[in-house]
Amino acid sequence: MHTGIAAGPAYANPQPAHQGPRGRTSNAHARPGPAFDRGSRDRLKVPSAAEVVDLPGVTLLFGLIDMHTHLDSDPEAGGYGFLEFTDAYWTVIAVPNARKTLKAGFTTARNVGSSDWSDVALKQAIEAGKIDGPRIVPAGYSFGATGGVFSHNTESGQQQLTPAEIKAVAEDVGPQGCSPCPRRFRHPRRGLASIDTIEHASLIDDEGIAAARKMGTWLSMDLYNTEYTQSEGAKNGVLEDNLCKDREIAEVQRQNFGKALKAGVKMVYGTDAGVYPRGDNARQFAVMIRYGAAPRQAIQTATINAADALGQKDKVGVIKPGAFGDLVGVTGDHLQNSGCWKNPPS
């Protein structure tokens, strides 16, 4: 079965967008499986039997990629609230969370910090067609290189693993095809060599920025979630200790994002959704733009950059023959107006 989509402008150029103007095309054409093409209806020769989806005025975008999600968590179970639930509850709750994430335009999600391999179960159920959800890249269990905002009994940035331990983890998982993503390095120069992405990177300093740039390490900086944590955290049971650390760190992290971006450090789009509700994943784009990213650059963090960091740049985050053909329809011109991201893509 062929499917045609008749829509407005599409981001048709999979090359880094700063190298060329926005591609415009009025039609897209997809087949089941990893095949996709775009162009005018005449050029594509859409079969007469094809199902055509009409989306007038809708802008087509590559399927978005969230590199840091917690699908198996609930922001309303803050603090020690999680102790009220069984271990299996978190796998169950991942099912509606996956659907909401997909509906928000995120067709690929790297899930971090799962317990009991619930992220792997989620991936299996989605791939088997049992439930709806994004393509899952399960990162499994987590460890923190340093203390974080939601850690207990540590200060933010307090060293928890030695550089030698981090290096040992990276050397152990690398040959198995896994990609290590420790979080919150203050001084990434030490032990950075085998690390692909750094989560949060809130306290990264000039030395760390220079090292990340030199070594081509991706930063995954969650810039939106403080707005939810500060407005809703207390009523969700988040402890005052954690709220206080969040208040201290949020603006520092945002400023460091701007500095790192300006210095040319590579960025991917990681939201930490799970700390805040799924479905709002796209709200971070507006914060990235506010702190220095060009709208096009912000979108690239969730498309070609994230795909590259995952080692899947020919499959996801692009629209071209051979890719999966994940498409998202958005209303409004999100290159000109970051406010468009307040409304979830459809």
Residues that bind Zn ion (CB under 5 A): 272
Which C-beta is closer to Zn ion: that of 202 or that of 300? 202
Which C-beta is closer to Zn ion: that of 37 or that of 222? 222
Pairing of strands 59-62, 327-330: antiparallel
CB of 201 to Zn ion, least distance (A): 12
Which C-beta is closer to Zn ion: that of 246 or that of 272? 272
174 neighbors 145 (Cβ within 8 angstroms): no
- As a whole number of Å, the CA-based R_g of the chain is 20
The C-alpha atoms of residue 306 and residue 290 are separated, in whole angstroms, by: 20
CB of 235 to Zn ion, least distance (A): 21
Which C-beta is closer to Zn ion: that of 59 or that of 301? 301
- With a CB cutoff of 8 Å and minimum separation 6, the contacts of 243 are 229, 230, 233, 234
CA angle, 65 as apex, 62 and 67 as ends, to 5°?
160
The C-alpha atoms of residue 191 and residue 193 are separated, in whole angstroms, by: 6
Max Cα-Cα span within the chain: 64
CB of 12 to Zn ion, least distance (A): 33
CB of 166 to Zn ion, least distance (A): 17
Q: Which residue is nearest to Zn ion (CB)?
A: 272
Which class for 336: exposed (0-12), middle (13-18), buried (19 or more C-beta within 10 A)?
exposed
Which C-beta is closer to Zn ion: that of 272 or that of 326? 272
The C-alpha atoms of residue 80 and residue 88 are separated, in whole angstroms, by: 17
- Grouping H, G, I as helix, E, B as strand and the rest as coil, residue 111 is strand
In the chain, the amino acid numbered 342 is K
60 neighbors 335 (Cβ within 8 angstroms): no
CB of 68 to Zn ion, least distance (A): 6
Which C-beta is closer to Zn ion: that of 196 or that of 272? 272
Question: Residue 136, Cα to own-chain centre: how many angstroms?
Answer: 11
Which C-beta is closer to Zn ion: that of 66 or that of 272? 272
